[in-house]
């Protein structure tokens, strides 16, 4: 399967980092196509834990090449920090990175504005990560952004000065301290020296890899319901998190994609504000948070926790064209007699199978819960479906038949080895 896209089916934090790391065995490339350092992909291996924010998950696998597509917003300072942190642990990555020169350059002004504007949203904060994502995409849409390719241009510093002055005006208007010019210029020169060697034509490199039959994994950040268009607007991120975003964000055609893997946690979590129909009670939520270590990788914020939401997953299957589901963190639910699962919603007295598109209707829906049988502890060395508790397999089957896509991976713990490749369930009810 040469070109595979991996996306989150919920609100991010589904365990995509681990799934991509597992699938990256034998892959030539892992490629990020949207978002920026708002993402946080956690990978555990060899007893160590790695949190990646800008680099794709293949960064921790020797020999796997790492692409950063033009759909991303990239803070070069953070990218260098991440590269250096891996180097400090003996993982050399510079010679494996290729960054599209058309990616948007995220400046300190964007992050400062993100925080100032979020602080000003006193009534309804979005709960952004404060990494400047929204303002950087806004600059791009306004055709006022710098691109990473500008770092290499002779007039780059002049362009930086113009953007610096205008974005500082926006910053002051939002009540934040302006960014100082001299340190910015010093950073720019360092970025020019260290980032320019990483720039190139990612689209062309992927085309060559696919023509050779090599495997390329496109790694979505955040999740389906944080997509700028499809998600729970306005409580969303500012990029296209859907599988089609891989094409638009890297310069590859949709006919090249062979498979789309959706990653879903066995329950649900959300960081930041916005509708969350299956959110658990405070007590149940605290128990899930504790057992599942549900804290944001990027911001350290506690995640809101709740139950599996079938209407949300159904929508994710359709909007992404998901051909297989990786179900993660089933171990967190072990030991329960039953597990609540929302199989539909009640909207003003009517039963509906898909999330309504109006944000206020979504805020009003009431989940229709069923109690599905729970399972005992999962054997630590489970490697085949036969090793799994039968009720967990039944849980996976019911999800597959309810949403119309098979479960193809079942993750039973944080380590690489705690992953069962399978085919559970095949068709819709
Ligand atoms: P932004 O992407 O920083 O603008 O944040 C917008 C919304 O997306 C907020 O609710 C964030 O908490 C959420 N968000 C952004 N990145 C992630 C992620 O990687 N995982 C989960 N939530 C995220």
pLDDT in tens, 156-181: 999 999 999 999 998 888 888 999 99
Q: How many CA atoms lie within 13 A of 318 on its CB side?
A: 13
From 271, 274, 298, give the residue whose CB has the most ligand 1 atoms within 8 Å, as the site to mutate: 271
Mean pLDDT of 19-37: 94
Cα of 425 from ligand 1 centre, angstroms: 31
Q: Which one, of 309, 332, 322, 148, lies nearest residue 243 by Cα?
A: 322
Give 101-124 pLDDT, tens digit per residue. Answer: 999 999 999 999 999 999 998 888
Nearest-atom index, ligand 1, CA of 129 = 3
Alpha-helix residue ranges (DSSP H) falling in 257-389 = 282-291, 310-320, 359-364
pLDDT score at 179:
96
* Distance from residue 128's CA to the centre of ligand 1 (Å): 6
Q: Residue 143 pLDDT more than 70? A: yes
Q: How far is the CA of 272 from the centre of ligand 1 (A)?
A: 7
At 117 the three-state DSSP class reads helix
Distance 222 CA to ligand 1 centre (A): 7
Closest of 184, 245, 188 to residue 218, by C-alpha: 245
Tens of pLDDT, residues 324-383: 999 999 999 999 999 999 999 999 999 999 999 898 999 999 999 999 999 999 998 899
Ligand 1 atom 10: residue of nearest CA:
272
What is the β-pairing status of strands 216-219 and 3-8?
parallel
Residue from 237, 275, 301 whose mutation best tests the ligand 1 pocket (most atoms within 8 A of CB): 237
Alpha helix positions (H), 89-235:
108-120, 133-141, 156-173, 181-195, 202-211
Q: CB within 8 A of 282, min separation 6: which ones?
A: none
For the cut 80, the answer to whether the pLDDT of residue 275 exceeds it is: yes
Ligand 1 mutation target, pool 129, 220, 279, most atoms within 8 A of CB: 129
* Residue owning the nearest CA to atom 1 of ligand 1: 128
Segment 178-185 shows an average pLDDT of 97
Measured distance CA(257)–CA(317) in Å, rounded: 16
Residue nearest to atom 23 of ligand 1 (CA): 222
CA distance 126 to 40: 18
Read off the pLDDT of residues 370-379 as tens digits, 9 standing for 90 and up.
999 999 999 9
Domains and CATH numbers, the chain: 261-424 (3.90.170.10)
**Ligand 1 centroid, distance to 227 Cα (angstroms):** 10
SS3 314: helix
Dihedral of the alpha carbons of 182, 188, 191, 192, in degrees to the nearest 10: -130
Compute the C-alpha angle 14/325/301, nearest 5°. Answer: 5
Cα(238)–Cα(21) distance, integer angstroms: 25
What SS3 class is residue 257? coil
Gap from CA of 77 to ligand 1 centroid (Å): 20
Report yes or no: 297 and 51 within 8 Å, Cβ to Cβ: yes
Which residues surround ligand 1 with Cβ inside 6 Å?
A: 11-13, 38-40, 126-129, 131, 133-134, 221-222, 226, 235, 237-238, 271-272
Closest residue to atom 15 of ligand 1, CA basis: 38
Q: How far is the CA of 75 from the centre of ligand 1 (A)?
A: 16
What pTM was computed for the model? 0.95
Residue 82 in this model has a pLDDT that exceeds 60: yes
Q: Which of 222, 270, 298, 299 has most ligand 1 atoms within 8 Å of CB, for mutation?
A: 222
Using alpha carbons only, what angle is made at residue 292 by residues 290 and 298, rounded to the nearest 5 degrees? 95
Question: Is the CB of residue 267 less than 8 Å from the CB of residue 288?
Answer: yes
CA-to-CA distance for 105 and 1, rounded, in angstroms? 33
Dump the DSSP string for 72-92: BEE-HHHHHHHHHHHHHTT--
Ligand 1, atom 9: closest residue by C-alpha: 128
Measured from the Cα of 221, ligand 1's closest atom is 19
Contacts of 247 (CB under 8 A, 6+ apart): 253, 254, 256, 257
Pick from 12, 419, 9, 17: nearest CA to 217? 17
Query: In this structure, what token pair is assigned to residue 299?
Result: 């911001």
How far is Cα 184 from Cα 164, in angstroms, rounded to an integer? 9
DSSP string, 339-360: EEEEEEEEETTEEESS--SSHH
Task: Give the residue numbers annotated as catalytic, written as ranges.
Answer: 13, 41
Distance, CA of 363 to CA of 197 (rounded, Å):
47
Q: Whose CA is nearest to atom 21 of ligand 1?
A: 12
For residue 1, name the pLDDT band (cuts at 50, 70, 90). Answer: low
- Where residue 97 falls among pLDDT bands split at 50, 70, 90? very high
């Amino acid at each position: 399967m040469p070109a595979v896209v991996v996306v989150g089916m919920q609100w991010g934090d589904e365990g995509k980092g681990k799934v991509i790391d597992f699938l990256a065995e034998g892959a030539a490339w892992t490629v990020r196509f949207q978002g920026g350092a708002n993402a946080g992909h956690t990978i555990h291996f060899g007893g160590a834990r790695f949190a990646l924010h800008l680099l794709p998950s293949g960064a921790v696998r020797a020999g796997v090449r790492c692409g950063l597509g033009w759909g991303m917003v990239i803070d070069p300072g953070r990218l260098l920090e991440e590269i250096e942190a891996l180097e400090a642990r003996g993982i050399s990555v510079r010679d494996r990175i290729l960054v599209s020169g058309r990616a948007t350059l995220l400046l300190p002004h964007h992050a400062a504005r993100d925080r100032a504007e979020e602080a000003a949203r006193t009534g309804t904060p979005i709960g952004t990560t404060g990494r400047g994502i929204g303002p950087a995409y806004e600059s791009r849409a306004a055709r006022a952004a710098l691109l990473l390719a500008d770092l290499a241009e002779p007039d780059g510093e002049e362009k930086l000065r113009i953007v610096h002055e205008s974005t500082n005006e926006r910053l002051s208007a939002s009540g934040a301290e302006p960014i100082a010019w001299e340190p910015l210029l010093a950073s720019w020169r360092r970025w020019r020296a260290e980032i320019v060697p990483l720039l190139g034509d990612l689209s062309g490199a992927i085309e060559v890899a696919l023509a050779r039959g090599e495997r390329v994994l496109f790694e979505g950040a955040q999740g389906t319901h944080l997509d700028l268009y499809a998600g729970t607007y306005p409580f969303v991120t500012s990029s296209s998190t859907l599988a089609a975003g891989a094409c638009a964000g890297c310069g590859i055609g949709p006919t090249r994609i062979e498979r789309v893997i959706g990653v879903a946690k066995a329950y649900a979590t959300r960081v930041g504000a916005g509708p969350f129909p299956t959110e658990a009670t405070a007590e149940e939520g605290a128990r899930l948070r504790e057992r599942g270590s549900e804290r944001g990788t990027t911001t350290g914020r506690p995640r809101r926790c709740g139950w599996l939401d079938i209407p949300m997953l159904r929508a994710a299957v359709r909007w992404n064209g998901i051909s297989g589901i990786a179900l993660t963190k089933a171990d967190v639910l072990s030991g329960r007699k039953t597990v609540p699962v929302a199989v539909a919603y009640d909207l003003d007295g009517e039963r509906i199978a898909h999330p309504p598109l109006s944000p206020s209707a979504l805020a009003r829906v009431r989940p229709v819960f069923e109690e599905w049988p729970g399972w005992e502890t999962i054997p630590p060395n489970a490697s085949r479906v036969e090793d799994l508790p039968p009720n967990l397999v039944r849980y996976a089957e019911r999800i597959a038949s309810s949403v119309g896509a098979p479960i193809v991976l079942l993750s039973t713990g944080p380590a690489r080895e705690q992953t069962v490749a399978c085919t559970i369930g095949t068709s819709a009810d």
